[in-house]
């Protein structure tokens, strides 16, 4: 009979062979090593295998066969991001958020819900805010993209919106902040003197899970004063 004693945490990490001799039918004695699967290692393996499975789906999209029809789009595109033109190899089914984060390394743009419902991925295309998670990169080939990395000036001076958000302690966890910054900058570009209601409407496409909406709103109004 196996003896299942109380849980012994040291057993999980016990190095070396934990051999145990069991008798098999032939009469020979075999060495048998129990599988030490700790909770931590189990979780680790589940997470890793999940990542590999999820990641491989993305990997194989780039290995897709080349165009069957010559009229369909070229994969090689020039993308104007933050004033610089970058040449990229982009499959037709890639979203702008993926391109920005994983091809260009512009990880300021966050992917929150990935279905146009949170605003963390907000970028500007020709001055208008869009959800980059729900925009095909090929759609915006001929547009000027501005991400949160392109908001501050080249010498590192923060945009008034960024400074005002800091002054108003708008970000708590900060995940929605890049989207809020881009939305507020786009709003003030269009309407430098918004009423508080217009500012609320302008930022209404961005969810903040910390609930710091009033801070972002005050920051936007303060930035409007300083512009």
Binding residues for other proteins, rule: CB under 8 A, are 57-58, 61, 64, 67-69, 71-73, 91-93, 95, 113-117, 119, 122, 128-131, 134-136, 138-139, 183, 201-202, 204-205
**Min CB(204)–other proteins separation in Å:** 5
Residue 82 or 134: the one with the smaller Cβ distance to other proteins is: 134
CA-nearest of 220, 115, 108 to 159 is: 220
Residues pairing with 123 in the sheet: 130
**Min CB(81)–other proteins separation in Å:** 18
Count Cβ atoms below 10 Å from residue 108 Cβ, excluding itself: 18
Residue 12 or 89: the one with the smaller Cβ distance to other proteins is: 89
Write out the two tokens for 156. 């590192």
**Min CB(137)–other proteins separation in Å:** 10
| Longest pairwise C-alpha distance within the chain | 90
**Residue corresponding to tokens 């369909």:** 72
92, 141 in Cβ contact below 8 A?
no
Cβ neighbours for 196, distance < 8 A, ≥ 6 positions apart = 217, 221
Residues pairing with 80 in the sheet: 85, 144
**Min CB(184)–other proteins separation in Å:** 12
DSSP one-letter string for 52-66: HHHHHHHHHHTT---
Q: Work out whether strand 128-131 and strand 144-146 pair parallel, antiparallel, or are unpaired.
A: unpaired
Residue 92 or 167: the one with the smaller Cβ distance to other proteins is: 92
135, 147 in Cβ contact below 8 A?
no
Residue 134 or 172: the one with the smaller Cβ distance to other proteins is: 134
Residue 169 or 201: the one with the smaller Cβ distance to other proteins is: 201
Q: Report residue 7 CA to chain centroid gap.
A: 39
**Min CB(113)–other proteins separation in Å:** 8
Residue 134 or 163: the one with the smaller Cβ distance to other proteins is: 134
**Min CB(75)–other proteins separation in Å:** 10
């Amino acid at each position: 009979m196996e003896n299942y004693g109380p849980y012994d945490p040291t057993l999980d990490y016990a190095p070396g062979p934990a051999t145990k001799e069991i008798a098999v039918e032939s009469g020979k004695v075999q060495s048998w090593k129990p599988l030490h699967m700790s909770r931590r290692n189990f979780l680790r393996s589940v997470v890793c295998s999940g990542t590999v499975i999820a990641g491989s789906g993305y990997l194989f999209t780039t290995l897709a066969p080349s165009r069957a029809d010559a009229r369909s789009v070229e994969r090689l595109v020039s993308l104007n991001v933050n004033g610089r033109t970058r040449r990229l190899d982009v499959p037709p089914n890639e979203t702008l958020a993926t391109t920005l984060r994983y091809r260009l390394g512009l990880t300021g743009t966050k992917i929150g819900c990935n279905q146009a419902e949170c605003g963390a991925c907000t970028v500007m295309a020709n001055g208008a805010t869009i959800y980059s998670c729900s925009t095909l990169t090929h759609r915006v080939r001929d547009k000027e993209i501005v991400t949160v990395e392109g908001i501050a000036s080249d010498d590192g001076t923060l945009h008034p919106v960024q400074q005002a958000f800091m002054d108003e302690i708008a970000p708590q966890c900060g995940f929605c902040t890049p989207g809020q910054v881009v939305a507020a900058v786009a709003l003030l570009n269009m309407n430098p003197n918004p009423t508080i209601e217009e500012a609320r409407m302008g930022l209404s496409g961005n969810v903040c899970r910390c609930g710091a909406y009033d801070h972002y709103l005050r920051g936007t109004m303060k930035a409007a004063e300083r512009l």
